[in-house]
Amino acid sequence: MYSSVFTLLDSPQFSPFIQHFGYLGIYIWFISFDQITPFPEEISLLIVGYLSALGVFNPILAGACSLLGFFTIDTIYFFLSKKGSAFIRKKTKGLSDLMQRYRDKIKQHSLKAFFILCFIPRMRLFAPILAGSSGYSYKRFFLLDGAALFVFTAIYTSLGLIFYKSLSHLISEVKGLQNIIFFGGIAMIAIIIIVFVIRRKKKARKNEK
């Protein structure tokens, strides 16, 4: 059973989503499903890198599609926050202390703050929200967010490639086991990140009361 499952994972047809949409599927994932599921973006990028190492994707094109997806969503959040959207208010409800803390950092150390937020799990989207609500011009936002997203995307997709090569070296004769270890490890990391994010938000909202 496991052999057939992971043989499928090793092919470009490992799921209907990848099979039918390819690079467009990566973009669609990051502008839609990624926004409505608790699945961490970091994990998605690791998988994109891993699949690129398997030959499913060209790593540069896959990274570019991921980056474009991130920037599309960030731009939407930026303009919604500029308009004072009710959606943004709902998303940040109960997090005013946390938002103010990072708003001050955005104003004082713009580039550094963008990078910090980018690398805190599920905090990346607060950067465009804070930039929009702080009166940033789109040009300034474009440069800062673009730089942070480029580094963020490059690092995590590269780690996916490295994981594949490391596992290939350690388990060169058992391909199925290699994939089991990778996806099992990814699942564990995802659970840890999700728990961390939930606890952080609960703590932030508790401090608001």
Tens of pLDDT, residue by residue over 51-71, are 888 788 899 999 999 999 999
- Structural domain span for residue 123: 25-30+41-208
Question: Which pair of structure tokens corresponds to residue 9?
Answer: 């994972």
13 within a domain of the structure (yes/no): no
Is there a contact between 53 and 161 (Cβ–Cβ < 8 Å)?
A: yes
Question: Based on the structure, what is the number of domains in the chain?
Answer: 1
147 within a domain of the structure (yes/no): yes
Q: Predicted confidence band at 2 (pLDDT cuts at 50, 70, 90)?
A: very low
In the chain, the amino acid numbered 206 is K
DSSP code for 186: H
6 within a domain of the structure (yes/no): no
8 within a domain of the structure (yes/no): no
Which pLDDT score is estimated for 185?
A: 67
Is there a contact between 202 and 28 (Cβ–Cβ < 8 Å)?
A: no
9 within a domain of the structure (yes/no): no
10 within a domain of the structure (yes/no): no
Which pLDDT score is estimated for 102?
A: 79
pTM, entire model: 0.73
3 within a domain of the structure (yes/no): no
